[in-house]
Amino acid sequence: MIAIVLGTRPEIIKMSPIIRLLRDNQEDYLLIHSGQHYSYDMDKIFFEELELPVPEFYLDVGSGNHGEQTARILTGIERVLMQERPDTVLVQGDTNTVFAGALAAVKLHIDVGHVEAGLRSHDRRMPEEINRVLTDHISEYLFAPTQESRNNAVLEGIPSDKIYVTGNTIVDAVQQNLRIAEDRRGFLDEYGLKTRGYFLVTAHRQENVDDKFRLRNLLKALEILRDEYSMPVVFPIHPRTRRRIEEYQLNVSPDITLIPPTGFLEFLVLEGNARLVLTDSGGVQEETCILRVPCVTLRENTERPETIEVGSNILTGITPGEIVQAVGTMLEEETNWTNPFGDGRAAQKIVDSIHTR
């Protein structure tokens, strides 16, 4: 039996092609939800839109400091795994849920499969980098999206026969949902947005939004972009970021369209029709690359260097001047790059690798 552990928005989206495949093949599998994300628009909406089964186990861990949250997930998952005894535990990405799930499993001598293995920002101040490195080193299967991510793991001494280059399941998820998302195009009208006539923004990275100075700079840059290009700026706001804006009492110009986090289908519409996307999200860097929409990443480094190499994305510092300049640069680029994240059959390759080992 395969147990799938998930807990946050990107894990639900990127695990969805694997869950669908296991379900369609009528395989023996089990879903364990940590409850790291729990608000309707960060969690349940994705199960509904992607028509995913309700998890058999829901741990309800909620928010907290890193140690506290990771410990609660670890304890809860260990209990489920001792009871259910799956052969393999699959985790996806780099969140606290991923590392806790992998650690609980490996201590019980259950094989861990890490989906999206081998990514490295080489920035140990990021909690995600710690989670990725540790998870890779305790995994039995490393499902690397690209050759580059495979090389990262090999360079750290991980045996190459544990590593499978599969592509990223986000390509599967985009392909499976893009046509369905077309039916939600009316979503643009709700906010008066025209195709290629607006900037889309997301920001939630701890290093950016838990720093008052950086967050204020970002909001300032958005105001400048709004004025300079006379284009709406739409910002579906992550709960962490909303909380920080309130706590720091930052003023958001009424010209910036703050909206609640959207479902995946609506977000695909927003991304696919934007003139350019500004983000610090990992998944959004990949999706803009897949959808051929220019991206400016509000970070000094990225664990998705493939997007920089193909020319879909650039990194920028966080001063308003740097952000505005980066946007200017990307707006002049051609958008005919090739997607480096695979052919949309990552889920199949992952499941096949587990079965044929």
Build a one-symbol-per-residue string for 76-115: x at contacts with ligand UD1 by CB under 6 A, - elsewhere.
------------------xxx-------------------
Which listed option, ligand UDP, ligand UD1, none, makes contact with residue 39 (CB within 5 to 8 Å by class)? ligand UD1
- Integer-rounded Cα Rg, in Å, for the chain is 20
CB of 357 to ligand UDP, least distance (A): 28
The answer to whether 196 and 39 have CB atoms below 8 angstroms apart is: no
Q: Which is nearer to ligand UDP, 31 or 50 (CB)?
A: 50
CB of 168 to ligand UD1, least distance (A): 15
The answer to whether 3 and 18 have CB atoms below 8 angstroms apart is: no
Q: Which is nearer to ligand UDP, 127 or 263 (CB)?
A: 263
From the list 33, 37, 114, 204, the catalytic residue is 204
Spatial distance between the Cα atoms of 256 and 297, rounded to a whole number of angstroms: 19
Which listed option, ligand UDP, ligand UD1, none, makes contact with residue 37 (CB within 5 to 8 Å by class)? ligand UD1
Which listed option, ligand UDP, ligand UD1, none, makes contact with residue 172 (CB within 5 to 8 Å by class)? none
Sheet holding 111-115, edge to edge: 57-58, 29-33, 2-6, 88-92, 111-115, 141-144, 163-165
Q: Which is nearer to ligand UD1, 93 or 320 (CB)?
A: 93
Q: Which is nearer to ligand UD1, 44 or 137 (CB)?
A: 44
Which of 120, 132, 204, 220 contacts ligand UD1 by CB under 6 A? 204
Known catalytic residue at 109: no
Q: Which of 324, 287, 321 is nearest to 307 (CA)?
A: 287
Do the bridges between strand 29-33 and strand 111-115 make them parallel or antiparallel, or are there none, so unpaired? unpaired
Q: Which is nearer to ligand UD1, 38 or 199 (CB)?
A: 38
Site residues for ligand UDP per CB under 6 A: 9-10, 13, 202, 204, 236, 261-264, 267, 281-284, 287
Ramachandran assignment for 342, one of left (phi > 0), alpha (psi -120 to 50 degrees), beta (any other) = left
Helix (H, G, I), strand (E, B) or coil at 316: coil
Which of 1, 27, 28, 39 contacts ligand UD1 by CB under 6 A? 39
The answer to whether 85 and 59 have CB atoms below 8 angstroms apart is: no
Which listed option, ligand UDP, ligand UD1, none, makes contact with residue 261 (CB within 5 to 8 Å by class)? ligand UDP
Build a one-symbol-per-residue string for 118-157: x at contacts with ligand UD1 by CB under 6 A, - elsewhere.
---------xx-----------------------------
Q: Which two tokens stand for residue 207?
A: 């290093």
Q: Which is nearer to ligand UDP, 23 or 240 (CB)?
A: 240
Q: Which of 2, 353, 350 is nearest to 167 (CA)?
A: 350
The answer to whether 131 and 139 have CB atoms below 8 angstroms apart is: no
Is 329 among the residues that bind ligand UD1 (CB under 6 A)?
Answer: no
C-alpha distances (whole Å) from 288 to each of 2, 149, 196, 310 are: 31, 19, 13, 12
CB of 245 to ligand UD1, least distance (A): 12
**Active-site amino acid positions:** 204
